Amino acid sequence: METKTGLEIRDKGDVAVVAFTHSCISDVEEISNASAQLKNYVQQKRPGKMIFDFAGVKFFSSQVLGLLLEARAHLQADAGKVIVSGLSTQLERVFKITNLNKIFTFYPSADAALSQ
C-alpha cells in the first residue's frame, strides 16, 4: 500500500524542489505523511536548500505552515535554507498575516529560485 503525501521531491544538485500535487492541501493524514517524508528526505540527502513550490495551490491549512517550519528546523542544523515559490496573492497574505514572510525567502517561481 502506497502512502499518500501529496508531494513530489526533485533533486537539482544540492537543492530539493518540493512540489505540491493538489490545489487544496488540507488532509491531516496527508500532511502528516508529507512531514515524515520530508524529515526522512532531509536526513538522507541533507540538501543545502529546499524550495517549496506552491504553483497551482489555491488553499492550504495552517498545518502546512507547520510543515514549512519543521523543514526549516531540520535544514538549519546543516545551515540549510527553506525557500517558498509560486504563491498566489491570497496565499502571500497568509504569510504576511502570520509574519512568516520575515523568516522565509520568496520567489515568483521555482525556476526563479533555482537561478539564484
**Sole residue written with cell 514572510:** 101
**Sole residue written with cell 517524508:** 37
**Left, alpha or beta for 37 (phi > 0: left; psi -120 to 50: alpha)?**
alpha
pLDDT tens by residue, 25-43: 999 999 999 999 999 999 9
Domain boundaries, the chain: 7-114
Q: At what angle do helices 28-45 and 62-76 cross, to 10 degrees?
A: 10
Helix/strand/coil for 54:
coil
One of 2.60.40.10, 3.30.750.24, 3.40.50.970, 2.40.30.110 is the CATH number of 7-114, namely 3.30.750.24
Does the model's pTM come out above 0.85?
yes
Residues 4-14: what's their mean pLDDT? 89
Residues 73-94: what's their mean pLDDT? 94
Cell numbers for 64, please give them. 502546512
Number of CB atoms found within 10 A of residue 88's CB: 14
